Copies of this chain bind each other. A is one copy, B any other.
Amino acid sequence: MHMLLHHASWPEVEAYLERSKGVLIPIGSTEQHGPNGLIGTDAICPEVIARKAAEDTQMLIAPTFNVGIAQHHMGFAGSMTLRPSTMIAAIYDWVASLSRHGFDRIYFFNGHGGNIATIQAAFSEIYADRSLGREGDNRRAVKCRLVNWWDFKPVLDYCKQTYGSAHGSHATPSEVAVTYAAFPHAVKHAVMEPAIAPSGRFTDAEDYRAKFPDGRIGSDPSLARAEDGEKLIALSAKSLAEDFKNFTTS
Chain A residues 31 to 45 lying within 8 A of chain B, measured CB to CB, are 32-40, 43-44
Q: A43-B63, A96-B132 are in contact. Are A203 and B127 (CB under 8 A)?
A: yes
Contact of A44 among B6, B10, B37 (CB under 8 A): B6
Contact B138 A5 (CB under 8 A): no
How far in angstroms is the closest Cβ of chain B from A210? 11
**Interface contact B84-A88, CB-CB below 8 Å:** yes
Copies of this protein chain in the complex: 6
Q: Is the CB of B30 within 8 A of A76?
A: no
Contact A43:B205 (CB < 8 A) given known A35-B11, A71-B132, A138-B134: no
Q: In the assembly, what is the distance between CA of A7 and CA of B114, in Å?
A: 20
Category for how many chain A residues contact B: 35 or more
Which residues from chain B contact A116 at a C-beta distance below 8 Å?
117
| A233 to B62 CA separation, bound complex (whole angstroms) | 25
Q: By CB atoms of chain B within 10 A, which of A39, A100, A121 has the most? A: A121
- Inside 8 A of A121's CB, which chain B residues have their CB? 69, 84, 88, 117-118, 121
In the complex, which residues 101-129 of chain A have their Cβ closer than 8 Å to any Cβ of chain B?
101-102, 114, 116-125, 127-128
Q: For A75, what are the chain B residues with a Cβ–Cβ distance below 8 Å?
A: 131
Residue pairs across A and B with Cβ atoms less than 8 A apart, 14 shown, are: A9-B35, A10-B78, A10-B79, A63-B67, A67-B94, A69-B121, A83-B93, A84-B88, A86-B92, A100-B133, A114-B124, A136-B138, A141-B206, A141-B207
Instruction: Contact check, B38 vs A6: say whether CB atoms are below 8 A apart.
Output: yes
Contact between A125 and B78, CB atoms less than 8 A apart: no
Verify if A215 is at the interface (C-beta below 8 Å from B): yes
Contact B66 A80 (CB under 8 A): no
Report A197-215 CB contacts with B as 1/0, cut-off 8 Å. Answer: 0000001111100000001
Q: Is A237 an interface residue (CB 8 A)?
A: no
Which chain B residues border A62 with CB–CB below 8 Å? 30, 80
The answer to whether A58 has its CB under 8 Å from any CB of chain B is no
Given the complex of chains A and B, what is the CA–CA distance between A12 and B3 in angstroms?
Answer: 34
Nearest chain B CB to A170's CB is how many angstroms away? 12
Kindly state the separation between the CA atoms of A100 and B62 in the bound complex, as whole angstroms.
30
